[in-house]
Every structure is written in C-alpha cells, then in structure tokens.
Amino acid sequence: MNKAKVLLEALPYIQKFHNKIFVIKYGGHAMIDENAKNYTAQDIVLLKYVGIKPVIVHGGGPEINRAMEKFGKKPEFIHGLRVTDEETLNIVEMVLTGKINGEIVSRIFKFGGKAVGLSGKSGRIILAKKKRKFIEKDGKKVEVDLGRVGETVEINTELLDILINNNYIPVISPIGIDEKGDAYNLNADTVAGDIASALKAEKLILITDVDGIMEDINDPSTVYKKLTVSDVKRLLKEGKIKGGMIPKVECAIKALESGGVKSVHIINGKIPHALLVEIFTEEGIGTMITKK
Amino acid sequence: MNKAKVLLEALPYIQKFHNKIFVIKYGGHAMIDENAKNYTAQDIVLLKYVGIKPVIVHGGGPEINRAMEKFGKKPEFIHGLRVTDEETLNIVEMVLTGKINGEIVSRIFKFGGKAVGLSGKSGRIILAKKKRKFIEKDGKKVEVDLGRVGETVEINTELLDILINNNYIPVISPIGIDEKGDAYNLNADTVAGDIASALKAEKLILITDVDGIMEDINDPSTVYKKLTVSDVKRLLKEGKIKGGMIPKVECAIKALESGGVKSVHIINGKIPHALLVEIFTEEGIGTMITKK
Amino acid sequence: MNKAKVLLEALPYIQKFHNKIFVIKYGGHAMIDENAKNYTAQDIVLLKYVGIKPVIVHGGGPEINRAMEKFGKKPEFIHGLRVTDEETLNIVEMVLTGKINGEIVSRIFKFGGKAVGLSGKSGRIILAKKKRKFIEKDGKKVEVDLGRVGETVEINTELLDILINNNYIPVISPIGIDEKGDAYNLNADTVAGDIASALKAEKLILITDVDGIMEDINDPSTVYKKLTVSDVKRLLKEGKIKGGMIPKVECAIKALESGGVKSVHIINGKIPHALLVEIFTEEGIGTMITKK
Amino acid sequence: MNKAKVLLEALPYIQKFHNKIFVIKYGGHAMIDENAKNYTAQDIVLLKYVGIKPVIVHGGGPEINRAMEKFGKKPEFIHGLRVTDEETLNIVEMVLTGKINGEIVSRIFKFGGKAVGLSGKSGRIILAKKKRKFIEKDGKKVEVDLGRVGETVEINTELLDILINNNYIPVISPIGIDEKGDAYNLNADTVAGDIASALKAEKLILITDVDGIMEDINDPSTVYKKLTVSDVKRLLKEGKIKGGMIPKVECAIKALESGGVKSVHIINGKIPHALLVEIFTEEGIGTMITKK
Amino acid sequence: MNKAKVLLEALPYIQKFHNKIFVIKYGGHAMIDENAKNYTAQDIVLLKYVGIKPVIVHGGGPEINRAMEKFGKKPEFIHGLRVTDEETLNIVEMVLTGKINGEIVSRIFKFGGKAVGLSGKSGRIILAKKKRKFIEKDGKKVEVDLGRVGETVEINTELLDILINNNYIPVISPIGIDEKGDAYNLNADTVAGDIASALKAEKLILITDVDGIMEDINDPSTVYKKLTVSDVKRLLKEGKIKGGMIPKVECAIKALESGGVKSVHIINGKIPHALLVEIFTEEGIGTMITKK
Amino acid sequence: MNKAKVLLEALPYIQKFHNKIFVIKYGGHAMIDENAKNYTAQDIVLLKYVGIKPVIVHGGGPEINRAMEKFGKKPEFIHGLRVTDEETLNIVEMVLTGKINGEIVSRIFKFGGKAVGLSGKSGRIILAKKKRKFIEKDGKKVEVDLGRVGETVEINTELLDILINNNYIPVISPIGIDEKGDAYNLNADTVAGDIASALKAEKLILITDVDGIMEDINDPSTVYKKLTVSDVKRLLKEGKIKGGMIPKVECAIKALESGGVKSVHIINGKIPHALLVEIFTEEGIGTMITKK
C-alpha cells in the first residue's frame, strides 16, 4: 500500500508530462561510475514507459582524454586555446559515437528500452559550421584557428521526429556536419539546448557531477531549488556562477528565452535516481530554472 | 530516493503490460464506500497513464434494490426466482446507466482520466437474447419466464476499439440489446468476462468485497495467492468455493479457457489501492487465476 | 415511377447536405407518443444513410416530473424559482441518461442505425459551471442558489468528432461536468445550440410539440415559414413570441449569429415525419430561421 | 408526408446496398433518346448520393455505324463475319471514348455527380488479347482473322478502386490493351460482367431497350420478374432466350457463378427511372437473375 | 564506365527535380512522326521512373483538320475567324479524347508507364466558359460568336492530385466543361499553362516543331538558350517573336509571373529525346525562360 | 543525344528494380582508396534517386588493425585462433561505428543522400549470441573461447523498415547485441546476407577488391559473369574458390536458397562506378550468382 501511495504521488507528474519531450544531457563526468550509468539508463526507460519522450545527448570529456593519451596524441594549443586537428576529431568521433554512444544504447536496451544511437551527422541532425574564435593580442582582435570545432547552424528534426513517434529513444553524439560533408566537434551542452529548442521540448535536463547551482560552491546544502532566468542573470553578474557552470546556464537561458523550453534542470548524476526524484517529486533534487 | 525505488520496482510490470487491455469489473458491493470508489478510480487513471488500457464494467446490486424500494416496486418471484418485468428493467437501467455509470465517469474525470460511459446498447456492444431458465417441477423440466433477463449473444468490439485507440476509458453498464431493439439486464461478471474475451484482454480483474478465494471463508489469511484453472475446478468440486463466488470463478474459467485472457484476479475493493498492489507487486493482494 | 420522382425531388437536398452535420434537439413533449418517437428515429436513420451526419440532443421534461413524484420528491422553490438539489440531480440524470437516452439509442438501432448514448459528462463533452441567478428583491439584486443547474463553459468536440467520423450517431443528454468532476443539469435547447455551434453544424433542428413560430399561437395556419434573425428579434420585441418559445429562439439567434450554423428549424414532432418533410421539401413544415 | 413515406420505403434498400458497388452497363440502343439519357444519369447520381458506388460501362452500337458511314468506311466481312481493321478500330475508339463516354460524363456532371471518363486502356484497366474465332469450312475448322476484336485477359482494379474510394464515378469504354500496347475493341456486356466480377460488385445492371427476359418476346406483360441461374439455363435450352439477349444472359451467368456478383438485372432504359424502380422497390421493373 | 558517367551527370538534375511536377505540352505538329512520338513517350516514362511527376496536355491540330475533311465538314468563318459549331466540337472531342489521347496512353504503356487518359471534363478538371471575342468593325467594337470555343475559369486539381500521388501519369485533352455541363474546345498551350500554375509545377515544357525562340527564325543556330520574362517581353515588342510562337510565350509569361512555375521550356519534338537533353544537361537543347 | 541513349538504356533496369531493396556490403579492403570511396557513395546516391532502396553494411578490416597497433594492443591467439577480448571489442566498435560508419554517412551526405549510421545494437537490429567454436585437439573436440565474437540470432527489421520507408539510407556496422545487452563483433559479409534475407532484398551486392569469382585467380579475364548456386557449389567442391572468397559465397548461397534474395553480386570496388555498371548494364562487371 505504501508502494501504491508512491505511484499515486507520481501520477500528477506523469499526467502533466504525458507525451512531452525531455532532452537529457548526460555528461562525461556523470558517466564514470557504473552505478550512476545504470541509474540513469533505468530512469530513462521508466520515463519512456510512463509516457514521456526522452531524447539523449551525451558528451565524453574524460574518456576522450584517455583515448588521446593511448593514441599518443598530445593536446595542441594556440594562444592557450586547445586545437582540434583532423586526427583529434577522429579520436573524438570514435570515442563519442563508437564507444560512449553505444554504451548508452546497450544500457537502455538492458533495462528494456529501445534506443537508437546516432551521430549528429546522421540524417543531418546537426548542421554545423566552423566556430570562429577571436582573441585580443597586442590590443588587436586576432582570429585563432581552433580546427574542427563547430557550432550549430540548424537542427534538422525530421529523423528525430520519426524515431520519437515510433517509440525509439534517440541517443545523439555532438558531432555535426557542414554542407560540404565535413565533420565538427560541438559542445554537448549547447547541442542539447539547441535540440531541446528545435523539438520544443518541455524540459532540458543537464546531468552533471554537482548538485546544482549553489550559493556556496563547497556547500551542497546551499543549492538553489528554483531560479528564474533573471535570478540566474543576476548570479552571473555577481560572479556566483563560475567555471564549467557558466556555459551550462548560458545554454539554459537561451533554451528558455528563445526556444520555448519550459524548464531547465541541473542535477547530480552521482545521486542514485536523481532524474526520477527531480521529475516526480515536488521538492526535486537539483536546480530548476524557469523563464519566470 | 525511496520513491524512485518504488517506481522502478513497478517498471517490469509497466513494461510487461504496456498497451495491454485490462477489463476491470467494479462491483456493487465494492462501490458503497466513498474512499473505495476514489481508490479504484485513481488506480484506473494511473493504469491508463502508465500505458495500460483499462476497460470498466460495473454492476449495481445494492443501489438497484434501494431504487426499487423508493419507486415502491416490490420484487416479484416465480418458483422462488426473481423476475425482471418491464418496469424493473427501467429502474435497473436508470440506476446502472443513469447513476452508477455516470458516477464512475465523473470520478475518473476528477482524477484526470478521459472516460466514456456507455450502456451495452450503444454501438450494439452487447448483443443479447432472452435468457431461458428451466426448473424441475413435479419431476418435469418446466421453463420459467424471468422477464427481461438476458445473456450475451456476441460482443461487438468496434466501438470499444475506437474509444480505446483514441485513449478513452470505456465504462460499460451490463445492459444488452437484442436484434429487435429490446433491452435486457445481464450479469455484470459474465459480461466483463465476455468483453475481456472479445477484446483479447491480458487480465480480467474482478473487484469484490472479499479478499479472494479463501481456504476458510472466515479467515482472510487463508487466501490462495495463485491458482490454476484445474485448482479452481477441484475447489469447486470439493465445495470450497461457495455462494456468489461460484459465478465469478465460472466466468474466470471461461475467459481463461476459451477467451485467451492470460489471468483473472479477484481482489477486495475495500483494501486501499488493491488494484495497484495486485498489478504492480510480485506478491499481489488477492487471488490470481491462470490457465496453467 | 412516382416513387422515383419523389426520390429525385429529394436529390438536390441530399447533395446540398452531403456530409453536413445536423444537430437535432428532440424534446420532452415531442417524445410522449410512441408513433412520434418512431417517426423521428426512422427519419434520423434515413438522414444518416443519405449522407447527413445527425447528432441528437434530448431533454426529458415530463418524464422527470413523473419520476420525481414516484420517488416522493417534492419540487423545491426559492423566490418562485425551482431548485435542483443533489437528490433531484440524481433523478434527472437517471431519467435523462438512464432512460430517455437509452430509449432513443434502442429505437435508432431498431431502424438500422448505429447510435451511441452519452451523458455530456463522458469525454467531458459539456464542460459546465454553476449557473448564477440574480433576482430583484426590495430593489436590490440578490443571488438565488438554484443548486445543481449549470451552463456551458465549453463544448469539447473530440469525442463527438471521433464518433461522427466512424459513422455513429451520438445521442447526448444535457448533463455537464465542471473541472472538479461535479455534475450539472443544463437546458437541452441551449446545449443543442452550443453543440451545433461547436461542431459548425449546417442545421440546428428543434423538434417541439408546436408547429413553429406562429403569428397567432392558436392558429397553426399562421406559422411563419421563413424568418431571418432580424424578423425574430422584431417579433420578440413586439411580444409575439411567448413562453417556452423564447429560450428556443434565443438559442437559435446565438447559434446563427456567432456559431456559424446556417439555419435553425422549429418543427412539430407530432406531425409524422416532420423532420424529412422539413429537410427534403422546398415548402418545409415548420419555421426556418436564417441569418439573413 | 407522402414524400416522406416514399423515402422511407427506399430506406431498407439504401441500408442494404450501403457502400456496395453496382456495375451498370448502359447501352447503345438505350442511349438514343435524350430523355432516357437524362433519366439514367440522374438515377446514377442519386445512387451515388445515397451511398451506393456506381461504375458505368458503356457500348455504342448505332453511333459507331453512323460514324463509319460518315467516314465513308464500308463494313468488311470475311466468311460472313464483320472485321475490325485498324481504321475501323480508330473510328470505334473515337466514338466510344471521344463521344459517348464524354457525353455520359457531362450528363452526370450536369446532375451533380463527379464522373471520370476512361478508356479501358487507361491504367491498363482492361488487359486484353486478340480474340480468336474459328469457323467450319468444308468440314474443317478454319481460323478467321476478325482484326482488332479482343477479349479480356484480366481486369486491373487498382485505378478503379482509387477513383471509387475518392468518390468518383468511373465511366469506362470497352477498349482494351494488350501487353505490347495494341488496342482492341471488346463486347461491352462482357466487359461489364468482367469488371463486376473483378470489383466483387453487389449488382450488375444491364440497361437495354427491352423490358427484360420475356416468356413471349412480343408481350412485355410476360416479363420474368425473378429468375435463378438454373431457370435461365433451362430457358436457353428451350430456345426461349434469343438473339442479342443470349450474350447478355451468358455474361450474367458467368458473373453470378464465378464472379461473386449477387444479382444481375436486365431493365429497359426507355422506361423513365427504370434504374431507381428496379433497385428501390420490392416488385422491380425488369428481370432480376440470382444464383439461387 | 562511360555509361556510369552519363548517369552521374544526370544525378544533380534528378536530385533537384525529385518529386517535382513537370507539365508537358505535346503538340499536334510534334506528333506526326512515329519516331518522335516514341521518343517523347519513352522520355516521359524515364522522367517518371527517376522521380519526376509528369503531367501531359496534348493538342491535335493537323489530325482534327483531316478528320473534318473526312466527315465532309467545311470550316466556317465569321469575319475571318474560325467558328466551332456543335458538330465541329464533336469532331474535335472525338479526335482529341478518342484518338490522340488514347494513342499517347498506349505509347506510354508500351514503354512501361502507367498513364490515365482524361478529357478535361472528367472530374471537372477544366471548368470553362464561352470565350468572348470582340473585333473592330466600322470603328465599333463588335462581338463575334465563335461557337464552342472556351477559356479556363478554374483548374480543379483534386483528381490530378489523386492520380499523381498514386503514381499515374495524367494525359489530358484540352476540352473543358461549364457549370451547366456544356463542353468547350480550349487552346492546348493555354490549358497546359493553367494546369502548370494550378499544380504549382516546377516546369512547363512546350514541345513544338521548332528549335525554340530564335533571333532569326530561319537559322536554328540563333536559338536563345536562356531568356528571362523581361527578355521575352522585349523580343515581343521588337516584333522578333511571331506567329504561333506569340500565344506560347504569352502563356509562358503568365505561368512564370503569376503561377509560380519556375521555368518554361520550348523545345523541338523532332529532335530525338529533346526532352531528356533539355532536362538533364547543362546546355539544354531549346529555349528556357525563367522569371529572372 | 548520346547521353539520352545511355539514360534510356538504364530505363529497363530502373523499372525492374523500382522500390526494390539492395543490400550492399562495402568492405574494408574496398574502402582504402579515396576515389573508390567516392565512386561507391555517389553510385549509392544515384541508386536511391532512381527509386532503388539501398541498405549499406560495412566491415573494417585494415583500419581495425591499425587502430589496435596505435592502442598498443597485441593480437591474442588461442590455438591459432584470434581472440576478441573486451578491450579489442571496444576498439572494433570505435573504429567501425565511430569512424568508418561516420565516414560513409558523410560521403553519402556530400553527394546529396540522406544516410543514417547505425550500430547493429541500435533498435536491436542485430540480435546476436556468442559464437561457439570447436577445434580438434588430441583427437577430441575442444571448445575454444574466442571472446566477444558473435553470430546472428535474429535480424529485427522494424527500425530499418521505418528508415527505408522514410527515404533514409541505413548504414550498419556489424556489431550485435544479446538479450542481456552485451555487444559482439560479427562477420560483415554474414550480417549483410542475414539483413538481405530479413528485408527480402532483391539483390545482395558484395563490394570487394577482386573482380569476382575467377577461373584463374590471377587472371581477371577469367571472371565468371553468371553462376548459379549449383555452379558455385561445384566450384567449391573442385577447390576453385579459395580463401576469403569462401565465406562470401557461403553467405551468398544461404541468402539465395533460404532468404528469398534474387541475386548476389561480387564486384571490385576499385573499378570506378562498378556498382552502376553491374546494375545498369546487361554485361555487368563482376560475378552474378542466382538461384537457378
């Protein structure tokens, strides 16, 4: 009977999110632990079966570094910026599309879901272009060639719509393709935000290895449960959001302001079943950002 | 996190029963208590939202008696058998289709489900004919005219299929219609079994006011958790199944043996959320009967 | 050959109304006579088979009174206005949804049509709210609580569209439901008008027990054959339209002016096959009201 | 009210034939009179609007002869059999597909129907081959080359199904095409029978200029109202069916025995609205042949 | 390997025109030669199979004259303008719909395509009206009755859309029908332009017996390969476009300016496979006119 | 005009193979040369645009070896058989799914096609199990554990059907998944054959680096143009088919005999546009094997 109660407590959320798309970014650092990977995969399958439509975007940080080492490939820098040459891109693609992507697909399959692993090149999902980067040097603006680093030109949802409507869970690696057929490596958080906007997703959920946006970055008890876009902008201005969290909240703001996404969630993938707790309870477990 | 665990324990059942039809008989005696009615309605809505297709059949026992009294209608008997004359049938229809059916529809709506209340006459769902009853009198077989009591000739699933495929929950009162357009009152348990067979339902669930089939009818701790059809036949032969339970197990046997229903469940509607516990836990709460 | 001529005279009307929706209000007083009921049911089936899409809304006046008497329920009045308490609403629902609705369904079935009887609660067809009534008392406006009397908030056509497109004839009782799941009794003429507007019906046909709008209410030869909305407004102002006809023409005006209904017809259900004569002949048999 | 009665007398037939296909052969001799042509076109439009699916096949006898005269083309005979040379075939196609077919299409359009005129070559409806004809000469069997006279190899219903399901009335001229793309002239009665069989038509109706099969060919009062296939076979054996009626009853027998057609009707197109009277009245107006 | 190269050279055109509609006017003078007819039919079938949707409109000039002679019908003129009386219209329809149309259908079938021959009366494709013609006489504008000569009121694409979507190639003769069901003869070039506009065709291709628009009408080497609408208007003003080419370029201008057609091509049907060369090569073979 | 001729010579093949599925195995050795890769990608796009449905399966031989070297991974052998341990499988997946697959997708995209790169794990396309291998040792049969080498249990065509019907070109790497979610490396030729059988493909085309099956392996002029299954079996028996060709012809025999594939082709990917020449010319360029 206790079990029944828990199920019924989830009912309002299940009803509210019925047939809605959730884009879940499932990151490098959150994927190291075997248990964490299983929790997330299982949670995703549950979401699918209670009527939500999950779309997965993944990154690959630490694994890419390890593969590069194995390949004896040294990181290259220009003006302190990391450069992605052709060979590095090959390694990135192999790790992202050939390893991490497949692992997620297998794990979702293991828990009873039907996933389809896709590079962003397939079906031209991520139409990209070379990202141009400028730095200041000797008081002048100088362009730095970062190599095969790209940014989104357009998300083509045709293939994703077909797969979603046929009850598959798309699992996408952040590799884009330009009009000439050349590949680029993109930032996974940004791609997740772009895809959430293009699919008019209800939620964008960024699974990380921290507990959310915190007042004091060293004290998890200071996690902000709910923030609005203007709260986040203020915290940015006040310098309270730092480091790797900055690009995350920037893509959150973009998805909420111009993409029609209803809420963005930043949660800690190391907490068992953080995804379910965040979605199916009033109090949640990480930080939820809404437009207003 | 405890909540997440409960949800995940339900996952294998949700997966197994995805898109399956459950016919739920929701009886007279199980419907007196306001709480019990709410529990059941809420459970049905949850089933719908996690991907199961519930179809409700209801009876009306005690309410019909009260209405007849109010109308000053005295029960009529021939040879000890109750007779349903035209006026009684009118009262039965008013109570079943006009009152109980509407109450269930309202309650499902209240908890967020989309229900459609239907008499078995609508769309000719229950094609019926007059039930012929014979008794022994002075050593001879004599027919007794029980009036407007009917039995199923055929279940027409067209309308039900349309409603189910459009995500409605059909709520059906056990009134049938014959080829000439005359109405009949049918036994709700039997109708539920017939509809379960016609829809090739996964489960037929009979919600009653007892805890299941019991070794000792006065000791709920003696409930049989799982029985096969041959177990039930043996218990019938041994006289261990008695009274109102006999027609229930008879329709269970029929649905399992010839209708392709996978399991029949007899549960106690007075136990809060018995429906969910029976469906989503290994141990269950009432009696489950399977073919083998 | 004479028969062929009659069929061919009907052809232009059949062509004109092909695939059009006709909402037919089929009233309490027009339903007392067994012949009248059969005529109307048969006419409805014919309409369906020649390609028109009939939707039936019914009232129940006299039958409700008789049932209330039988139940020993005395009408209650406040400031001269009838009050619908909970128990009265129950009786109203039983008679409308449980008796009259089922009778119409049976009769349509008898003549070969496929009907589906529905309370307005099903599929939330009639979303209603409590009707607020104000009277003048001692020069002040005072609200009177009429109990469970409702008015339309919104007609939800999803279920009706599904049934109509699958060739069923919906038969609707004027019971509405509010957001909390509470039921209300609504005026059947008004509901018919609201449904006609929501379905963008070609015609709204009110079957009554008088011959139409008459210059002299006691002289059927003074029936107005055709009126425009402005004619009707003038007749109302001149006091020539009285009593129960007033709400009928009010809902007619609303349906024509804001609902996109092409014409409203008021005909006498006691005249055999008045429905067919009104629809399939140039001269008609009752009063037709058009926008201009 | 009289009109209503007639409409309602037609109702059982309308119900019975709802969505059924009627193949109507509409012949040369029955098409000379302007009134007769209008009657038939109007009747066909009525059939369409009350839910029947008419398919028209036409011949062209007398008009072809007139056109040949105009073209100064003399009939050619070998061993007493008429030969269709290339030029004659051209004239036949021009008259059938270019004149008579278009006239029928126009007339159906005039009465409000949507017709599509088709040669049997279009969409390869009539796959044909050269008809081989043998005669006895000097005690030996000798083949006579009748030129471009064909017989059906196969009816391809794809195009007809598409048109029928999109509510068009196909009007087909009996020109066939062989695998090499060469055209042939076929007998219109036979083609009508073949198409009725291929479409699994409910009825095949042959409109001629006689009142049906008669006991005494000179006395229309001796028309057989209903015959079975075995009756017809007996009448053939007894020599009571003669001349042009013989191929008609032969194709009737074939359509009934092997094609699944339910009934074949032979009616007189000169009688106003013979088609409607035959279909919508119990007594009919011509001869109806059924399997048993 | 040379073959592969040619196929691959065609690929960009095949990709560009995938699923696009091409309306091809296939004229009288271009159809006299047996080889020319075969080339064009074969080219059309190829277009269809590589994913283009061809729609054919044909004229019939010389064949009509020959048929009129055969019928002993003398051309009638009023004020120097040819008059189409009822009998002439009959001959025109017979030749266009009954002969030329059928020939094209047969030829397409022979090369493996599925064509449907249609008069513009079928499915009311060409809704027409009488064309009014005024001349100047004695300084006054006087109307001349040209008889059954019509002009397009509206193209009804429903039937064409159905056929195209079901992979048929419609072949249309330029006969129109007015609201009363009367037929008219229309100019084939104009009809082709109207149909191209109504179908939002990619290309309108006019197959003639000249090499295109030429600087010097006697020197094929002076063919303009590409012209814009303003070029054509200038050439018209300069009197460089003469005779039968004038109405062709007028319908081209209309289709390009108001119909959304992307390009109009004028090519010489006597050049083997001119259609393929024009479509699948950069240089083309006739004159291509574009908006800009 | 010469170009037109070539296109028309291809027409019969285009017609014959319209809407047919071709499974193309595109191998490791055939993919080294940049030109060869471009030829094949371009040919595949052409096939798609002329109405054929290509499905690509690829291997990866030489690239896998190079990657293993780079990773410092030494090949492991047991009893002379190569063993695929977990780490090797990871490298295989990275190279196949993460590198080669993506390259093919990019290249098809570059030439204008829509490809979707898929591991056989996605959508459970390749349900696999561990391949058991037995060797003879000391006169006894001993099982050797080859690690993560698998064989097909079942091809699940659902995802492929969806992609093909939506005009995508699936590109599949030969990685399978077992019921528990574990991955296996499979032989690409065998997988291609299994997929061709499951999809009821018209053709299975194996692109290799030799010219076909040859009488004398060193003399390309001795290529067998056409062989039947029984020819191939005879050549096998005679020892004329050797080495890597043996598994290829074995999967060819299986696909032809039990899979319903119509023909298997073995062609040399180094010959420019070998694919088009083999498909669109009578003489072909490699070896075609048919059932009879």
pLDDT digits (tens, 9 = 90+) for D167-196: 999 999 999 999 999 999 999 999 999 999
* F14 in E contact zone (CB under 8 Å): yes
Cα–Cα distance for residue pair C265/C248, rounded to 1 Å? 10
What's the start-to-end Cα distance of chain A, in Å?
38
* A56 in F contact zone (CB under 8 Å): no
Contact present, D82 and D64 (Cβ < 8 Å): no
Query: Cβ of D115 and E123 within 8 Å?
Result: yes
Q: Return mean pLDDT, chain F.
A: 93
- In the block, tokens 């047919």 appear at F20
Residue C1: pLDDT band with limits 50, 70, 90: low
Residue F80: pLDDT band with limits 50, 70, 90: confident
Neighbours of chain B (3+ CB pairs under 8 A): A, C
Among the partner-chain residues A1, A50, A276, the one whose CB lies closest to the CB of B4 is A276
Cα–Cα distance for residue pair C89/C83, rounded to 1 Å? 10
Contact present, A19 and A53 (Cβ < 8 Å): yes
- The predicted structure's pLDDT at residue E1: 67
Q: Return mean pLDDT, chain A.
A: 93
User: Predicted ipTM?
Assistant: 0.94
Closest-CA residue of chain E to F5: E273
Structure-block tokens of residue F102: 């993506």
* Min distance A60 CA to chain B CA atoms (Å): 27
Q: Return mean pLDDT, chain E.
A: 93
In a domain, D199, yes or no: yes
DSSP D73: P
**A112: alpha, beta or left, given left = phi > 0 and alpha = psi -120 to 50?**
left
Count C/D contacts: CB-CB distance under 8 Å: 96
Query: For residue D93, which of D158, D23, D150, D37 has the smallest C-alpha distance?
Result: D150
- CB neighbours of residue F292 within 10 Å: 6
What's the start-to-end Cα distance of chain F, in Å?
38
- The predicted structure's pLDDT at residue C262: 97
Cα–Cα distance for residue pair A206/A25, rounded to 1 Å? 5
Of the listed ranges A1-5, A235-239, C257-261, D30-34, the least confidently predicted one is D30-34
Query: Cβ of F117 and A119 within 8 Å?
Result: yes
* E165 in D contact zone (CB under 8 Å): no
In a domain, E60, yes or no: yes
F60 is in an annotated binding site: yes
**A284: alpha, beta or left, given left = phi > 0 and alpha = psi -120 to 50?**
left
Q: Using H for helix, E for strand and C for coil, what is the string for C198-215? A: HCCCCEEEEEECCCCCEC
Among the partner-chain residues E11, E45, E277, the one whose CB lies closest to the CB of F46 is E11
In a domain, C68, yes or no: yes
* Min distance A47 CA to chain B CA atoms (Å): 10
Q: Which residues of A fall within a CB distance of 8 Å from B6?
A: 2-3, 6-7
Among the partner-chain residues F107, F117, F183, the one whose CB lies closest to the CB of A122 is F117
HSE-CB for A206 with a 13 A CA cutoff: 35
Among the partner-chain residues A8, A43, A51, the one whose CB lies closest to the CB of B51 is A51
Report how far Cα E160 is from the mean position of its chain's Cα atoms. 16
Per the DSSP assignment, residues forming a β-bridge with D129 are D151
pLDDT digits (tens, 9 = 90+) for D75-116: 788 877 778 999 999 999 999 999 999 999 999 999 999 999
Chains C and A touch (3+ CB pairs under 8 A): no
Cα–Cα distance for residue pair A89/A67, rounded to 1 Å? 12
Structure-block tokens of residue C53: 């899409």
> At residue D206, does pLDDT exceed 90?
yes
Q: Is C159 helix (H, G, I), strand (E, B) or coil?
A: helix
Of the listed ranges A203-217, D28-42, F167-181, the least confidently predicted one is D28-42
pLDDT digits (tens, 9 = 90+) for D221-255: 999 999 999 999 999 999 999 888 998 999 999 99
In a domain, B103, yes or no: yes
In a domain, D6, yes or no: no
Q: What is the dihedral of CA F177, F181, F185, F186, to 10 degrees?
A: -20
* F118 in A contact zone (CB under 8 Å): yes
In a domain, D48, yes or no: yes
Contact present, F53 and F17 (Cβ < 8 Å): no
Q: Which amino acid is at D284?
A: G
Neighbours of chain C (3+ CB pairs under 8 A): B, D
pLDDT digits (tens, 9 = 90+) for B145-202: 999 999 999 999 999 999 999 999 999 999 999 999 999 999 999 999 999 999 999 9
> At residue A21, does pLDDT exceed 90?
yes
> At residue F194, does pLDDT exceed 90?
yes
pLDDT digits (tens, 9 = 90+) for F85-126: 999 999 999 999 999 999 999 999 999 999 999 999 999 999
Query: Cβ of E6 and F8 within 8 Å?
Result: no
Residue A1: pLDDT band with limits 50, 70, 90: low
Q: Which residues of F fall within a CB distance of 8 Å from E14?
A: 46, 49-50
- The predicted structure's pLDDT at residue E60: 86
Work out the burial of residue B64: count CB atoms within 10 Å of its CB; fewer than 13 is exposed, 13-18 middle, 19 or more buried: buried
Count A/B contacts: CB-CB distance under 8 Å: 96
Contact present, C220 and C209 (Cβ < 8 Å): no
Residue E158: pLDDT band with limits 50, 70, 90: very high
* Min distance A77 CA to chain B CA atoms (Å): 44
Q: How far is the CA of C116 from the CAs of B124, C61, C109, C160, D126, in angstroms?
A: 9, 22, 10, 10, 44
Chains E and A touch (3+ CB pairs under 8 A): no
- The predicted structure's pLDDT at residue E72: 84
* F96 in A contact zone (CB under 8 Å): yes
Q: Which residues of A fall within a CB distance of 8 Å from B112?
A: 11-12, 15
pLDDT digits (tens, 9 = 90+) for C237-246: 999 998 889 9
Q: How far is the CA of A146 from the CAs of A74, A84, A127, A135, A180, in angstroms?
A: 15, 6, 18, 12, 19
pLDDT digits (tens, 9 = 90+) for A73-84: 887 878 777 789
* F167 in E contact zone (CB under 8 Å): no
Cα–Cα distance for residue pair D92/D100, rounded to 1 Å? 11
- The predicted structure's pLDDT at residue F190: 95
Cα–Cα distance for residue pair B124/B181, rounded to 1 Å? 9
In a domain, C9, yes or no: yes
A82 is in an annotated binding site: yes
Q: Domain of B190: which CATH number?
A: 3.40.1160.10
Closest-CA residue of chain F to A156: F114
Contact present, C181 and B106 (Cβ < 8 Å): yes
pLDDT digits (tens, 9 = 90+) for E22-38: 999 987 676 778 889 99
Query: Cβ of D11 and C49 within 8 Å?
Result: yes
What's the start-to-end Cα distance of chain B, in Å?
38
* B15 in A contact zone (CB under 8 Å): yes
Among the partner-chain residues A5, A50, A280, the one whose CB lies closest to the CB of B14 is A50
The total domain count for chain A is: 1
Query: Cβ of E49 and F50 within 8 Å?
Result: yes
In a domain, F34, yes or no: yes
Query: Cβ of C181 and B124 within 8 Å?
Result: no
Contact present, B85 and B76 (Cβ < 8 Å): yes
Cα–Cα distance for residue pair B136/B143, rounded to 1 Å? 9
Q: What is the mean pLDDT of residues E230-235?
A: 97
User: Which residues form the domain of A222?
Assistant: 19-290
- The predicted structure's pLDDT at residue D31: 74
> At residue B256, does pLDDT exceed 80?
yes
- The predicted structure's pLDDT at residue C229: 97
Residues in chain E: 292
Mutation pick from F119, F124, F158 vs chain A, by most beta carbons of A within 10 Å, is F119
Among the partner-chain residues D3, D12, D50, the one whose CB lies closest to the CB of C50 is D50
Contact present, E269 and E34 (Cβ < 8 Å): no
Query: For residue B59, which of B112, B120, B106, B110 has the smallest C-alpha distance?
Result: B120
